[in-house]
Amino acid sequence: MFIMPLFYSHSIDENTRLAIWHITEEESFFLDKVPTSRSITHWHKRLQHLAGRYLLQFLYPDFPLPLIQVATTKKPYLPEESHHFSISHCGNYAAAIVSTRHRVGIDIEIPVEKLQVLAAKFVSASENKMLPLMAGKRIPALTLIWSAKETMFKWYSHGAVDFRQHLKLHSIKPSVNNHGSIEASFCKDATVPVTVHFTQFDDLVLTWLVQDW
């Protein structure tokens, strides 16, 4: 279903839904519907925050927004886990994924040149060898790797993760109609195989993970 400014939506299974919102509204549009945090003073970050929270109830109208708490790792969560969720913001976009059954993670990224400089901090030697095999230019490829690892980090949710050492990407299946998947492993305390899914838009990359621990 597509309505503006809904940019993208996807029902992953009967328990899990995600969406991307293109933020075109004034803050007042969201304040009528979503509680905000007074600690967010920058207007654009506050707008991103509100749009992300708005998406939670857009995806599940019964989502209990007032019950959200924030962990010491800065991850928002529901104490009784009636809904598992993850939120991401980038530029004028917000994304959210919600599941009533499974752990989830989501990330959106706009490809930017600075990833070239940061690559050594999050791309391992084996992952660097995959870059020439990936369709497209180096910046979109680095963006996909970064986004996949951000999604894994959010899915784990406990912080203290080394993106090179603990988050390992093994293979990236070629994109078909801009959709693909990445076989990976989360390697902290125990090794957990995971599959990160992705969708590539013209100037935006979306990654998500739905999997119980």
Tokens of 24: 């075109």
Phi, psi of 159 (to 5 degrees): 75, -170
Domain of 143 in residue numbering reads as: 108-210
The crossing angle, in degrees rounded to 10, of helices 138-156 and 115-122 is: 50
Same-domain pairing of 192 and 117: yes
Q: How many structural domains are present in the chain?
A: 2
Among candidate residues 52, 80, 102, the one where a domain is terminated: 102
Q: Give the per-residue pLDDT at 132.
A: 64
| Reported pTM | 0.93
DSSP symbols for 94-118:
EEEEEESSS-EEEEEE---TTHHHH
Looking at residue 90, which CATH number applies to its domain? 3.90.470.20
Same-domain pairing of 114 and 201: yes
How far apart are alpha carbons 50 and 69 in whole angstroms?
A: 15
**Domain-embedded: residue 150:** yes
**Domain-embedded: residue 154:** yes
Same-domain pairing of 135 and 187: yes
Closest CA relative to residue 138, chosen from 152, 123, 153: 123
How far apart are alpha carbons 55 and 96 in whole angstroms?
A: 6
Same-domain pairing of 20 and 88: yes
**Domain-embedded: residue 1:** no
Looking at residue 176, which CATH number applies to its domain? 3.90.470
Over residues 170-182, the pLDDT tens digits come to 998 877 888 999 9
Q: Give the per-residue pLDDT at 3.
A: 46
Same-domain pairing of 43 and 91: yes
Low-confidence residues of the chain: pLDDT under 70 = 1-4, 37-38, 132-136
Phi, psi of 142 (to 5 degrees): -65, -35
Q: Give the per-residue pLDDT at 136.
A: 57
Closest CA relative to residue 31, chosen from 113, 40, 171: 40
Q: Give the per-residue pLDDT at 176.
A: 81
How far apart are alpha carbons 86 and 95 in whole angstroms?
A: 8
Same-domain pairing of 92 and 142: no
How far apart are alpha carbons 117 and 119 in whole angstroms?
A: 6
What residues have CB less than 8 Å from 48, skipping those under 6 apart?
A: 23, 89, 94
Among candidate residues 53, 71, 102, the one where a domain is terminated: 102
Q: Give the per-residue pLDDT at 175.
A: 74
Same-domain pairing of 95 and 114: no
Among candidate residues 71, 102, 133, the one where a domain is terminated: 102
Q: Give the per-residue pLDDT at 151.
A: 98
Same-domain pairing of 120 and 204: yes
Q: Give the per-residue pLDDT at 32.
A: 84
Element (H, E) at 59: helix 43-59
